[in-house]
Amino acid sequence: MSCWHISDSSDVIDLLLTAFSGKAFIDYTALKQNLADRIRLQRQLDKSREKQKIFLRNNDDMPALSEQGFSDIEQYKRWMEAHRYPESTINIYSGMMVRFLRFVSPKKASECNSEDLIRIVKDYILPNGLSQSFQNQMISAVKKFYGEIYLSAIDIGKITRPRLQHRLPNVLSKDEVRQIINALTNEKHRVMLSLLYACGLRRSELLQLMLNDIERNRKLIRVRQSKGFKDRIVPISEKTIEMLDLYIRRYKPQRFVFEGQWPGGMYSATSLEKVLKMACEKAGLSKSVTLHWLRHSYATHLLESGTDLRYIQELLGHKSSRTTEIYTHVTSSSLQKIRSPFDDL
């Protein structure tokens, strides 16, 4: 056809901008509008198929959800939406209840009791090697369902939750963070990862950041309604502000600081994860780095530089100081000063 071809994917514009960065100007106005129309249509199709998929059998040999079960799940979702639960929590809890109701089938939700919850732990969760986190989420979802929808049946006091796992956060060195950021040639991608680390933001906080949340005169970023529906402010350096302003002048976002394929639309969380994966590959890091590692690294590096733990708690938006104290276990500056008794032999 006398032209070049590339794969038709949701991140095609980012791929083009990366490939031609510093080499050519890309006018993708028509492509952006075409993608926006297609994405809107795809979302409508996905929404209509969502109800159908819930009836289908999975690969776990459990029966499909009944009509009554589907009605119960829809009622559960509406209750959580009315009480402003985060979308991620709604998806997790409703998904857990779908598994529970399929497991107990042909019993109806109204016929279940505490023994059914114990049974799904013993006969489904443990034999399939599912995690402690999965087990806790299942118990929480079922407890909430029967506490709010059926107001009966499950006595959570009879259910033993798994013992909590205490894991240290994964932390990158400053040099590794520098390698990851410098590996990116696309300005937008580089600024996104830089801001995650520079301000210790969660992924959702970065994606939901709006243009008017940057208070340049006060050198602050306002993080709105984050985890636990809390607002907080985070300091931002002059260097980071200059980097952001250069990016904004070039990309001209309309609403969110980082927008997706169409103007005013939020950037995709999946695309951001792909950006990090690509950066790690280019930097030659073999670790399975996640976006949250940058937040862990921010907190640990602050602690190593002498920042008070109480301030770090405020910067991260932790409700309890106990959550922040985990970083004291991974600060290398203090640990490296400890002399091993072996050295005195």
* Active site amino acids: 202, 227, 292, 295, 318, 327
CA 103, distance to chain mean position in Å, is: 28
DSSP character string of 199-211: HT--HHHHHT-BG
Q: Which amino acid is at 186?
A: N
Who contacts 185 (Cβ-Cβ below 8 Å, separation ≥6)? 18, 21, 22
Who contacts 51 (Cβ-Cβ below 8 Å, separation ≥6)? 70
Sign of the CA dihedral with 16 first, then 19, 21, and 25 last? negative
Q: Are 64 and 83 in contact (CB under 8 A)?
A: no
CA gap 311, 317 in Å, rounded:
10
CA gap 190, 12 in Å, rounded:
17
The CA radius of gyration of the chain, in Å to the nearest whole number, is: 24
How many angstroms separate the first and last alpha carbons of the chain? 76
CA 85, distance to chain mean position in Å, is: 15
Q: Are 199 and 221 in contact (CB under 8 A)?
A: yes
Q: What are the structure tokens assigned to 16, written together?
A: 């083009």
Taking each helix axis as running N to C, give the angle between helix 187-199 and helix 238-251, from 0 to 180 degrees, rounded to the nearest 10: 150
CA gap 227, 94 in Å, rounded:
19
Q: Which amino acid is at 97?
A: M
Q: Which amino acid is at 314?
A: E
Taking each helix axis as running N to C, give the angle between helix 174-182 and helix 269-283, from 0 to 180 degrees, rounded to the nearest 10: 110
H or E element at residue 223:
strand 220-223
